[in-house]
Structure 1
Amino acid sequence: LGFGKSGCLVSLDDPRIDGAAASGLVDFLAGTRAADDGTKADYVTKDGKGDPRVGMIGGSYGGAIQLATAAVDHRVDALVPMITWNDLAYSLDPNNAADRSVPGAFKWQWTNGFYLIGEGQPLLEPSLDPSRINKLTCLHFVTDACETIRTLNSGRYPSDKAGPMLDYARSVSPVSYLKQVKAPTLLVQGQSDSLFNLNEAQATYGTLKAQGTTTKMIWQSWGHSGGLTDPASGELNLAQGNLETSYVGKRILAWFDRYLQHRKDVDTGPAFAYYRDWITDPGQTYATAQSVPALSRKLYLSGDGKLVDNRSKVARGSRAYRNWLIPTSHSESSLAGLIGLPDPAPRDTAGTYLGWTSEPLTRTTDVVGSPKATLKVLSPRTERVQNSDDAADKLVLFAKLYDIAPDGSKTLVHRLVAPVRVPDVTRSFTVSLPGIVHRYEKGHRLQFVIAASDDAYGGNKGIKPVTVTSAPEDTGVLELPVVGQ
């Protein structure tokens, strides 16, 4: 709703609005509701009186609407949500610290890109009823959504209002209503997606599985970032409609055969599958597993800037960085790939980040899942103000993983970063990095970085110098989900 010729305000796939409207379409299929011209649906397979057999598939906004619909209408029989969100509060204002008691770092590029698309609908569709325009706040968003976006853009996070600001985004997100979803759900998420990363699908998958809803998950190559309209060879390409020949497409067809056609002999595939971009044979690019790999390897942050595999190898030492009043690191231009513009390579400015680098790897290392880092930083200037009424006074940093080739060239893995608004700089904290699927080749080095800023996100309020101290008995730890060890 709110896009094309629907004429409604954008309500972010709210189950109470968008889900209810979709339920009306199910009524139409059931024959209990006619179109405005009196037309009724014909040739609809039904499971019972008033119960048409319905499956849904779609991506992004068209992914969350499936979950919203299934939450309010249990006549929906099968879902395939693709590259969509679990929690918009995390998507738009992510805080990857385990303690999310404070807001995150505003993902301003993606959020305002979507906002402009929504606000532009009355111009793109001049025939829309002008009475539908929200004259009180935004042109084409419901008031609560508009206020959320405006507060995020203000950069102000008052402690007494931060919760309500994020509560609306969370209330219209699957995280708040997944308990009502009973339809078998095949989740498909993109590895190259900084808007809705793999952690979103993993959160939805975990909730559905825990409550007994039939669910499986696939991590495909493409998402919102860069490759949305140009999938890798052999990958599902919605523009081409290659469902019958791509791995993901075959899995989708099998899902609908099983849960729409009720063909109980159909194999719907493994619980979890993931795309490997280092495999050249299109027919062998997916690996399968019964679950997302667990954290299995620890590396330690040494005081000399090394990433070591044993705590006893940690050198004592302190290293520091400071932020500027303008961003000094670049991960991506979020909308560049979608609109066909070039995007400069990722970079970090000297003095505004710290990196810890491993020795050259003695064998290939495949990382599949969400790495985790436990950190402790010193920032006296932050400590003096972090308990103020404005949560924006807390320290912001960005954690990320690079792959350094033997020739020194660096790759920011899938251009993903983990924004963190540190709850309390006097205590250690845990960071969940975005999920990745990446092969570190033999001879390459793994680098873990924390940076002061990122130009795709909001940043620190004021200058906040940071020091990281390491000792064998007390240092930061990076944990990796490594497969095939």
Structure 2
Amino acid sequence: MRLRLLAVLVVAVLAGLTGPALPASAAATTPVRFVDIQGDGVTLKANVVAPAATGRYPAIVFPSSWGLNDLEYLAQATAFAQRGYVVVSYTPRGWWASGGEIDTAGPRDLADLSRVIDWTIANTATDPARIGAAGVSYGAGISLLGAAADRRIRAVAMMSGWTDLVYSLYGDNTRHQQSAGLLGLAADLLGNPGTDLSGKLGDFTANRNVNEVKAWARVRSPATYLDAINANRPAVLIANAWGDSFFPPNQLVDLFGRLTTPKRLELRPGDHAIAELTGIIGLDNAVWTSVRRWFDQYLGGVDTGIAAEPAVQLTPLNAAAEGYPAWPSVGSRRYGLGQIRWWDGTGLLGGAPSTGWSKTLPGDLDTVAGGGVVLLTNGVGAFTGQQPQIWLPAVDRLRAGVWAAERPSSALRIRGIPSVHLKLTGTAAQGTLVAYLYDLDLLGNAKLITHAPVSWLGTAGGSRSVDVALSATAYDLPAGHSLTLVVDTTDPLYYDANAPGSTVTVAGGSYVDVPVR
């Protein structure tokens, strides 16, 4: 109870800070009003703020994030009300004082969202033809799912959300350990997970009933309802971070490419819910600026110019922001993995894939190469501008394979989703590898560009090939730096499928494909 009260106080204090910059014509608003809304068989806690003047206004519904409540958006809700919007924020079922059990963006949550829209139309000065939904993380997913289920939602702003929950949990057949653990902890502390969520998280952790967990996750994935979203044609803004350790961005790129609605994709440095954090507490923020422009364009009847801008807005990890009409169409450069040199334990990365060599890795030992700590590592990087970094000579060559490319005379502009193809021999029936792509300078300092795990879950050992799509990235490799690949078998971010004492052998014919501009 003390923890809950402290969280309420923190959210209330942060939300009470000065809101974002407003136009000189900012309108007076009603006082924030706290209300109970009858959802699908439960009572939802909510608050409402609106323009004080009489008239009809567009409305925005904000479902709160996982572990937070309807106070989360108070600063932004007030700012939107001053711009001429009715704003209703609510706490989804199972969280804080809202009734019921957590539905994890399932059918009951979507029915609740429609009930909130019903209430908003009936009890506020809302124009029913101009309704939007927005949120961060959990609220983002509910908002996009809601646009598939309720065609009254004409515009969506999805910040740090997901489109494929199966990929978020089991990307490349590898369970995501730290992120799922934090979600479960928050549910236990601040919500009522009930038997459904507790059972699914228990199955996930124990690696049992995998097909049932995936089926449960598909029901909660916007990608499952892509046809309905396209048919309803809401204007969809997707904003996320390159280093989102809960919802890696590849899934967003895939859905964005198949959307036929008015759409915009923004990717920038950071981790889950970090890029929009300062906006939540009322400070100027690039993500929230885009959200305001998006809703003004598609709900407010104001031409903000955002519709005429390139639909894909990328802020690289170490370069200025760029715009593209679609996901960057890039060339691909193949780097073959070569023989490991005996004197330094490093192989050449580059040229055609060579054969006649192999590198055996222990299946249960980690190295200093890593993806960092969920939320913290990439989150700090968003504010400092620094990528996670290791000293490459410290990577134990008995535990990892290391391949370094020749140093180019000009910068290499990496844009897109790199992929790694590994030929393996002598593997166990099940196992895991983790691939890391680094920027290596002359002093041995290596900055992480991107990474991803891959697991194989077969019934027999032997030779096989695995392909892993690394997390989408945008990075300028400086002239004179070496593009470097590290492959090991363990990372604390993920559960691995390696048996103690097992080995994995990487063999000739392996390569990396890097998208470049």
TM-score of the pair, normalised by structure 2: 0.72
Whole-angstrom distance in 2 between the partners of 1:25 and 1:179? 24
Gaps of 5+ in 2: 1-91, 341-346, 382-386
**Corresponding residue number in structure 2 for 1:125:** none
| Alpha-carbon contact 2:366-2:488 (below 8 Å) kept | no
Deviation at 1:340, TM superposition (A): 8.6
1:396-431 Cα distance to aligned partner (Å, 9 max, x none):
1111211111111111225x4333336575332321
**Corresponding residue number in structure 1 for 2:99:** 7
**Corresponding residue number in structure 1 for 2:495:** 458
**Corresponding residue number in structure 2 for 1:199:** 250
- The answer to whether structure 1 residue 110 and structure 2 residue 179 are counterparts is yes
Q: 2:293 aligns with which of 246, 254, 273?
A: 254
Whole-angstrom distance in 2 between the partners of 1:263 and 1:340? 36
Question: SS where residue 145 of structure 2 aligns?
Answer: helix
Whole-angstrom distance in 2 between the partners of 1:226 and 1:78? 23
Q: 1:435 aligns with which of 472, 478, 486?
A: 472
**Corresponding residue number in structure 2 for 1:301:** 337
Whole-angstrom distance in 2 between the partners of 1:170 and 1:310? 39
Whole-angstrom distance in 2 between the partners of 1:218 and 1:351? 40
Whole-angstrom distance in 2 between the partners of 1:288 and 1:180? 26
**Corresponding residue number in structure 2 for 1:478:** 512
Higher RCO (CA < 8 A, seq sep 6+):
1
User: What are the within-5 Å matches in structure 2 for residues 362-377 of structure 1?
Assistant: 362-377=409-424
| Alpha-carbon contact 2:245-2:375 (below 8 Å) kept | no
Q: Give me the identity figure in percent.
A: 23
**Corresponding residue number in structure 1 for 2:142:** 65
Letter in 2 for 1:438: Y
Question: SS where residue 256 of structure 2 aligns?
Answer: helix
- The answer to whether structure 1 residue 153 and structure 2 residue 205 are counterparts is yes
Deviation at 1:326, TM superposition (A): 7.1
* CA distance 1:291–1:325, change in 2 (3 Å): closer
Q: 1:273 aligns with which of 290, 313, 316?
A: 313
Whole-angstrom distance in 2 between the partners of 1:360 and 1:315? 23
Deviation at 1:338, TM superposition (A): 9.7
- The answer to whether structure 1 residue 87 and structure 2 residue 164 are counterparts is yes
| Alpha-carbon contact 2:311-2:325 (below 8 Å) kept | yes
Question: SS where residue 144 of structure 2 aligns?
Answer: helix
* CA distance 1:90–1:420, change in 2 (3 Å): same
Q: 1:331 aligns with which of 371, 375, 386?
A: 371
1:426-462 Cα distance to aligned partner (Å, 9 max, x none):
3323211110111110111111222111112111133
Gaps of 5+ in 1: 32-39, 48-52, 96-103, 123-139, 231-236, 387-393
Letter in 1 for 2:311: A
Letter in 2 for 1:333: V
**Corresponding residue number in structure 2 for 1:421:** 456
User: What are the within-5 Å matches in structure 2 for residues 333-348 of structure 1?
Assistant: 333-336=373-376, 348=395
- The answer to whether structure 1 residue 322 and structure 2 residue 362 are counterparts is yes
* CA distance 1:321–1:110, change in 2 (3 Å): same
Whole-angstrom distance in 1 between the partners of 2:126 and 2:379? 39
| Alpha-carbon contact 1:184-1:259 (below 8 Å) kept | yes
Question: SS where residue 158 of structure 2 aligns?
Answer: strand
Whole-angstrom distance in 1 between the partners of 2:189 and 2:513? 44
Whole-angstrom distance in 1 between the partners of 2:489 and 2:378? 27
1:133-184 Cα distance to aligned partner (Å, 9 max, x none):
xxxxxxx224332222112222x45xxx432222112221212223222311
Letter in 1 for 2:479: K
Whole-angstrom distance in 2 between the partners of 1:361 and 1:340? 29
Deviation at 1:13, TM superposition (A): 1.1
| Aligned Cα root-mean-square deviation (Å) | 2.9
Deviation at 1:61, TM superposition (A): 0.8
